[in-house]
Amino acid sequence: MRLKPLLISLLFLLLIFSLLTSEEVSDVGHDQSLSCYNRSLWLHKAYQIRSNIKDSLVAAMDSGYCGYEIDIIWDDQLGFYISHDSLPASTEKTLLVDVIDTINSGEKIIWLDWKNITFANIFKGKEFLENHFSKYSKDGRSLFVESSKVYALSFFSFLSPSWIKPLYWIDFRDVRKTLYDYLRNFKNLPFLCFSDYVSSNQMAVPSFKGCPFFEKPKVFLFTINDSLEASKAFELGADVILTDFLKSTP
């Protein structure tokens, strides 16, 4: 029964060590030579903006956005496939490996939302990302990997090279009703204090401020499609905003 608290304490120490030894926070992974009409607006669910995933990714790369987001699921038999939710075994899937060449042919920054990261699949997933996105390391770009499972992501980050950046999803919508809600989110507070990058689905959240005596983390928000809301979010301290803008285009 005491194993879980010990494991959490160990992971917390690993998080602090990895952050103390990490490189200085980059400008949210941008290569300064990239030509974008807004470097802080990235495309949400870039795999859904056309009739099929490959055409969608091509369109995303041809867009004026510096970065885009892709949801991925790990399968022990197939590797990563692209989807927001786990799919039945009988359902045809688009494997990430099948569109890697399309992704790597561009110069965008990629935000991967790893939906089902666990301590059991970290090693295989890490090996895949390192092998297939090694171009990022050579180009001086960052690959962002997001998850709400902050402790599994922290261990993944500790094992990964510095060009793979953990993006900790802190959901503040739940901190509003019961003591349990507060306690459940309290365990994530260290990630607001020590992390370089956090993501959230709320605009006015404590993650904008970080913690006293610590540098504010880079804040990635999703999903904002209204220009006034986006302006407000940037004023509050957001660094990157995901938008669905291209989904309304033909």
Q: In this structure, are residues 208 and 219 in contact, taking their beta carbons and an 8 Å threshold?
A: yes
In terms of average pLDDT, the best of 56-60, 83-87, 139-143, 146-150 is: 83-87
Within a domain: 144: yes
Please tell me the predicted confidence (pLDDT) of residue 236: 78
> What integer best gives the mean pLDDT of the chain?
78
Within a domain: 32: no
Within a domain: 30: no
Query: Which of 36-45, 77-86, 187-196 has the least mean pLDDT?
Result: 187-196
Q: In this structure, are residues 76 and 64 in contact, taking their beta carbons and an 8 Å threshold?
A: no
- Prediction pTM value: 0.81
Within a domain: 27: no
Within a domain: 29: no
Mean pLDDT of the region 32-48: 76
Q: 163 in helix, strand or coil?
A: coil
Q: In this structure, are residues 203 and 229 in contact, taking their beta carbons and an 8 Å threshold?
A: yes
Split at pLDDT 50, 70, 90, the class of 250 is very low
pLDDT of residue 173 exceeding 60: no
Query: Which of 41-50, 86-95, 206-215 has the least mean pLDDT?
Result: 206-215
Give how many domains the chain has, as a whole number: 1
Report the alpha-carbon distance of residue 144 to residue 141 in Å, rounded. Answer: 10
Within a domain: 14: yes
Within a domain: 31: no
Split at pLDDT 50, 70, 90, the class of 186 is low
How many other C-beta atoms are found inside a 10 Å radius of the C-beta of residue 98? 14
Mean pLDDT of the region 110-138: 94
Shortest CA distance to 127 belongs to which of 87, 83, 74? 74
Mean pLDDT of the region 64-69: 88
Report the alpha-carbon distance of residue 18 to residue 24 in Å, rounded. Answer: 12
Mean pLDDT of the region 60-76: 91
pLDDT of residue 32 exceeding 50: no
Within a domain: 28: no
208-246 pLDDT per residue, tens: 555 655 667 788 888 888 888 888 888 877 889 999 886
Q: Which domain holds residue 119?
A: 3-22+37-248
pLDDT of residue 188 exceeding 90: no
Please tell me the predicted confidence (pLDDT) of residue 245: 80
Mean pLDDT of the region 39-55: 90
Please tell me the predicted confidence (pLDDT) of residue 25: 42
Burial tier of 31 (Cβ tally within 10 Å: 0-12, 13-18, 19+): middle
pLDDT of residue 121 exceeding 90: yes
- CATH code of the domain containing 54: 3.20.20.190
* Percent of the chain surpassing pLDDT 90: 36
Query: Which of 30-44, 72-86, 221-235 has the least mean pLDDT?
Result: 30-44
Please tell me the predicted confidence (pLDDT) of residue 161: 93
- Higher-confidence residue of 26 and 41: namely 41
